[in-house]
Structure 1
Amino acid sequence: MSAWVLFVTVLLACAVEAVEALTVVLAAGVGRDWRSAGQGVLAALTALTATVAVLGPAVGRIPLGGLRLVVGALLLVFGLQWLRKAVLRASGLKALRDEEAAYTRGLASARAAAAGGRGVVRDWYAFTLAFKGVFLEGLEVVFIVLTFGANAHDVPLAALAAAVAVALVAGAGFAVRGPLARVPENTMKFVVGTMLTAFGVFWSTEGAGAHWPGSDAALLVLVPGIALVALGYVRLLRRAERKTEKSERTGATA
């Protein structure tokens, strides 16, 4: 995998996770208490650092063949999940993710929750909300960085891409003091889901002992091929949805 492909793939995937984490942190800070939300973010980052310290060396000791087989299978599960949701959203069968609406719901829940602190944390709800949001999305970022970085033998570059993504999203979010509703998150998830699925197929096949014609160049066929299949499903589902709506209208008229 070339360095720029690694960087762009990790950057896009981590940017999606960062947007979702930012929405949660903003709801905790605006709706409750910024100091407690900040403490939750720091606690989550500390826990993630410890996780990386444990998992990083362990991943590096796995034989490359076994690593690619396991990581490829995990990426397939992860990527297909993203791609499935993106196809359903694009076809209209699932509501598009709206960060503005998610922020509004989180803000309302935060303001309605009972007040109270523990120890140095003066608002426990804001702390736990921010901690969970950053830690859970951060775990996915760690997974992306370690898997892509280990397979490409360049964890530092993958980590740099993740850091750039998080810094850009966090900077933009806190500059406007609101959710990044204009970020085309659903389109990004479609693209990232396609790429994760393609890499999952590629690495799991190589991990099983097979070899792709042209080696890494096979990705130039896999990525657009999977994207075309996904877009084909979007078209089929849209057509089926239109037929269902037409049948319902006809039945209601009759």
Structure 2
Amino acid sequence: MNGIFLFLSSFLASSVEMVEALTIVLAVGLTRGWRSALIGTAAALAVLAIIVALFGPVLGRIPLQPLRLIVGGLLLVFGVQWWRKAMLRASGFKALHDEDVTFAEETTAARAQGAVAPGALDSYGFALTFKSVLLEGLEVAFIVVTFGASAQRLGLAAWGAGAALLVVLGLGLLIHRPLSQVPENTLKFTVGVMLTTFGTFWAAEGAGAVWPGGDTAILGLLVVYAAASYGYVSWLRRLHTARAARTEVTA
């Protein structure tokens, strides 16, 4: 059970970050040229590989119980943020994230930088893709390394991220446009709940708690958080509708 959720969490979380990075890479490649976009992407991936190589073994040397307490706490902070934003988007309090809009904005900004000299490396395109891939990749690396170290299954977490990379990259190559058809906000909601679930499970284990049923308690926590999500979103939607109605009456 732990392994299934570990793979799915790594896959879904990585997919979300990779879709966002791919949108920027496509915008730069189509407007500023693929040379700078691909070189920027490759440079960012090289930096990420170095970071993972340096910090992955360090986490592996920490005793398992305190490691799970630390990682569980970090995942709770990380997951609750995603979960909160997803509930606000689902209820209407926060605008839905739209990759088409992001793609259009980045394309306009890239074109405003002027033409690229033939054969020259475009510094703007390189810097933008490097920064975007590095920032999104750091989140993927954090999830993979912390999940893998806490569950003592770094390989399984890496497989999840690798599968996400192949799927997102394959779709990007096929359609050459932002993956707007991917339900990114639904993915973020799911990932937020799953990260919060793992964070709760590992933090409690790190603090010395013993879960009834062992790893199967993860499924129970997931059901509790999913039910809480449904309740919160329903309440927030009613609140948002009531506020909108009062605003219309006042206007």
Band of TM-score, shorter chain: over 0.9
Specify the code of the residue in structure 1 equivalent to 2:27: A
Cα distance in 2, alignment partners of residues 153 and 10 from structure 1: 14
Q: Is the 8 A contact 1:115 1:123 kept in 2?
A: no
State the partner residue of 1:236.
Answer: 235
Identity of matched residues, %:
53
Cα distance in 2, alignment partners of residues 251 and 61 from structure 1: 62
What is the total number of aligned residue pairs between the two structures? 250
Deviations 1:66-98 (A, max 9, x none): 110110011011101100110010001111111
Cα distance in 2, alignment partners of residues 242 and 75 from structure 1: 32
Q: Is the 8 A contact 2:45 2:134 kept in 1?
A: yes
How do residues 102-113 of structure 1 correspond to structure 2 at under 5 angstroms?
A: 102-113=102-113
Specify the code of the residue in structure 2 equivalent to 1:31: T
TM-score when normalising by structure 1: 0.94
Identify which range, 3-12 or 187-196, moves more after superposition. 3-12
Q: Is the 8 A contact 2:32 2:116 kept in 1?
A: no
State the partner residue of 2:90.
Answer: 90
Deviations 1:79-129 (A, max 9, x none): 011001100100011111111111011111111125678xx9610000011
Shift of the alpha carbon at 1:4? 2.3
Q: 5+ unaligned residues in a row in structure 1: which ranges?
A: none
State the partner residue of 1:247.
Answer: 246
Cα distance in 2, alignment partners of residues 100 and 116 from structure 1: 24
Cα distance in 2, alignment partners of residues 170 and 7 from structure 1: 19
Q: CA, structure 1 residues 233+121, in 2 after alignment: closer, same or farther (shift >3 Å)?
A: farther
- Root-mean-square deviation (CA), in Å? 1.5
Cα distance in 2, alignment partners of residues 207 and 3 from structure 1: 18
Cα distance in 2, alignment partners of residues 165 and 5 from structure 1: 15
Shift of the alpha carbon at 1:227? 1.4
Q: 5+ unaligned residues in a row in structure 2: which ranges?
A: none
Cα distance in 2, alignment partners of residues 109 and 221 from structure 1: 47
Matched, 1:18 2:18: yes
Q: CA, structure 1 residues 218+38, in 2 after alignment: closer, same or farther (shift >3 Å)?
A: same
State the partner residue of 2:180.
Answer: 181
Shift of the alpha carbon at 1:5? 2.2
Identify which range, 243-252 or 39-48, moves more after superposition. 243-252
